[in-house]
Amino acid sequence: MMQLKTWALALTLGRVVEATILQNGQVRETNFPETKISDLSAYDFNTYDADAAEISYKGRWDSKKVSYWSAPGFVFGFSGDTVAITFGKDTVNGTLIGYRISGMDWIFTNVTVGGTHLLVTPETLGIGETYPVNPQRFEMRVSNWGYGVQIDKVHVRTGESLIKIPPYNRTIEFIGDSLSAGDFQSYEGLSSFAYGVGEGMGETEYYVTAFPGICVADQECWGNPRGQVHQWFYSSDTSWRATEIWGDNPEPWDFEKMETIPDIVVINLGTNDNNVANNVSAEAYVDAYKKLIQGVHGKYPKAQVVVMVVPLLSNLNPEP
């Protein structure tokens, strides 16, 4: 319950979320390696724009290539042994990202607004493993659910190139709140249960349209101005930064342009509607839940929708 209160407070305060996170009983390390480079001219780069056709965006990004919700990311193939990324002005300074090559372990680093970060180098573990077979697969995910990045440029070495990697043939989407977004988990998005299930399925695309504190009913809940029955239809989430970027006129999510259409949609909502602090009536809750499911069927007619019941729901003693 202490934790619930803490994030409710953090959401209300907006920007500053400071907490000690324990990981296997030890304080989580947050001194991630510095990847920012200051002198771009010292490198011989072949540079691509953020909207290059070779880059496959995963999860929700707006038309300015700003990321939202939990664990959004992108994938591309690259030749050579170097990848750097320049982050745009709508990046939240210090956002934690995870990235990896060819499905190996995630490497974490904080990225900076306007900074160019050198993520893959000849020293990156495993970079030579597939030699002489090209390309390697590069994947990046934004790991902080409340923060986000804007992609400006992608760089490889001169003479090298990006290569389009086709998506996997199966897709799962999670629609949820803190439990799916990875709130309180060590790396947030990349340690959420939604990520774990999506990744664990293997060769499956996964999208996590989840935000802590959100209700399904369309009303203010724990600082989220709208509920999922409304917000799921938009690119941006209910964060303060989405409001800074889009005001109260966010971009509708372009379902037509999705790289893959989910085969399975898992909805895990209701924890926040059930909290007396949010005062959602049973009628409003059921009505919103039904409308969201109808909306999902409308956008993805062939998808199976799985509605999760939070086992502890009836035991959650709601505090104000």
Binding site for ligand NAG (CB under 6 A): 30, 32, 93-94, 96, 110, 112-113, 144, 169, 203, 279, 281
Q: Are 257 and 299 in contact (CB under 8 A)?
A: no
Nearer to ligand NAG among residue 89 and residue 290 (C-beta): 89
Nearer to ligand NAG among residue 203 and residue 248 (C-beta): 203
Q: Are 224 and 215 in contact (CB under 8 A)?
A: yes
Nearer to ligand NAG among residue 70 and residue 144 (C-beta): 144
CA–CA separation, 67 and 88 (whole Å): 11
CB of 91 to ligand NAG, least distance (A): 9
Residue 245 in tokens: 């970027």
Pairing of strands 95-101, 136-142: antiparallel
CB of 221 to ligand NAG, least distance (A): 12
Nearer to ligand NAG among residue 38 and residue 314 (C-beta): 38
CA–CA separation, 125 and 109 (whole Å): 15
Pairing of strands 45-49, 36-37: unpaired
Nearer to ligand NAG among residue 91 and residue 268 (C-beta): 91
Nearer to ligand NAG among residue 76 and residue 187 (C-beta): 187
CB of 110 to ligand NAG, least distance (A): 4
Closest residue to ligand NAG: CB criterion: 94
Tell me the β-bridge partners of 46: 156
CA–CA separation, 69 and 134 (whole Å): 32
Which backbone phi and psi does 252 adopt, to 5 degrees? -60, 145
Residue 252 in tokens: 């509708």
CB of 160 to ligand NAG, least distance (A): 25
CA–CA separation, 187 and 222 (whole Å): 22
CA–CA separation, 50 and 56 (whole Å): 10
Nearer to ligand NAG among residue 96 and residue 194 (C-beta): 96
CA–CA separation, 226 and 219 (whole Å): 5
Q: Are 42 and 183 in contact (CB under 8 A)?
A: no
CB of 13 to ligand NAG, least distance (A): 16
